[in-house]
Amino acid sequence: MGQPRILVVEDDSAIRDGIVDALCFEGFDTAEAKDGDRGLDAALKLSYDLLLLDLVLPGRDGFDILKEVRAARPTVPVIILTARGAEADRVKGLRLGADDYVVKPFSVKELLARVEAVLRRSPERPLDISEVDVPGGTADLARREVRFDDGARRELSDRETALLRYLAGHAGRAISREEILSRVWGIEPRRGRGVETRTIDMHVARLREKLRDDPARPRVLITVRGKGYMFTKEESPS
């Protein structure tokens, strides 16, 4: 297996070059983008193990990129780069799903230590998969569509794609609605309120329809009574 690849999205060329040089010196593979639009494109299309993301960028800002990444690729670790004193930005970034933050100006040693710490934790995350086998077809998460052997196709929304990726990444484990809401939607469930968890149920129902998963006898997205939902590749005997 090759060295971890790190995507650096930073508009300040001096900072970006310094980060890339330090990462390369430590043996990491790198990719980079110098503005928000290129950063978002790279973050959604490239293969990488960790994203270093500046929040203040030309074009799409870092918060927009973070939201898109968390919706499409919830397993990818993200470290945000923030200005000194911007506590509100750090808090917002963490609430949107960032794993850690580094305050500018920062030392190379501090940055590398945080990168290594986040990468050590990343094996606990589900696999960042791009395709999921389903009965009679394949769910292509990169293209956000389901292709069936009979030639039919069904388009998946961003949220449906993120939900399917998360469930498939934890195949065989029952995932609670609260965990789905927190890790896929990026918000914490409110005690005593069922609106958010009913939203999960509606998205699962739509996914079942698009996967041709019979809601009366589902084979892919199983309801685990009292717990939540579980993705399984096992098919019931015909």
Chain segment 141-156, per-residue pLDDT in tens: 888 999 999 999 999 9
Across 97-125, average pLDDT: 84
Residue 234 has pLDDT above 80, yes or no: no
Give me the pLDDT at residue 119, please. Answer: 86
pLDDT for residue 238 = 36
Confidence grade of residue 229 (pLDDT, cut at 50, 70, 90): very high
What's the rounded Cα separation, in Å, for the pair 180 and 93? 19
pLDDT higher than 50, residue 124: no
pLDDT of residue 71: 80
Non-local (6+) Cβ contacts of 123 within 8 A are none
Q: Comparing C-alpha atoms, which of 174, 227, 177 is closest to residue 199?
A: 177
Give pLDDT, residue 7. 96
Q: What is the pLDDT of residue 42?
A: 92
Judge residue 29's burial from the number of C-beta atoms within 10 Å of its C-beta, 0-12 exposed, 13-18 middle, 19 or more buried.
middle
Using the structure block, give the residue that is written with the tokens 């808090």: 91
Angle CA 126–129–131, to nearest 5: 145
What average pLDDT does this structure show over 109-123? 84
CA-CA distance, 117 to 113, in Å (whole number)? Answer: 6
The answer to whether residue 127 scores a pLDDT higher than 60 is no
Mean pLDDT confidence for 203-220: 94
Query: Residues 178-192: pLDDT tens digits?
Result: 888 877 876 655 544
The pLDDT of residue 188 is 59
Mean pLDDT of all residues in the chain? 85
User: Nearest Cα to 71, choosing from 168, 11, 119, 141?
Assistant: 141
**C-beta of residue 169 within 8 angstroms of C-beta of residue 126:** yes
Name the more confident of 38 and 82.
38
Q: Is the pLDDT of residue 84 over 70?
A: no
Residues 208-231 have a mean pLDDT of 92
- pTM for the structure as a whole: 0.55
Classify strands 78-83 and 50-54 as parallel, antiparallel or unpaired: parallel
Report, as an integer, the average pLDDT of 210-230.
Answer: 92
Q: What is the pLDDT of residue 179?
A: 81
Question: Which has more confidence, 238 or 223?
Answer: 223
The four Cα atoms 121, 122, 125, 126 give a dihedral, to 10 degrees, of: -150
- Do the beta carbons of residue 23 and residue 6 sit within 8 Å? yes
**Residue 50: φ, ψ to 5°:** -160, 145
pLDDT in tens, 92-107: 888 888 888 898 889 9
- 164 vs 72, 144, 158, 200, CA distance in Å? 10, 10, 10, 12
Task: For residue 127, give the nearest of 72, 165, 88 by alpha carbon.
Answer: 165
Catalogue the E-assigned strands of the chain: 5-9, 29-33, 50-54, 78-83, 100-104, 131-134, 137-140, 145-148, 153-155, 175-176, 221-224, 228-231
Q: Which domains does the chain have, with CATH numbers?
A: 5-124 (3.40.50.2300), 131-231 (1.10.10.10)
Hey, which of 180-189, 205-214, 229-238 has the most confident mean pLDDT? 205-214
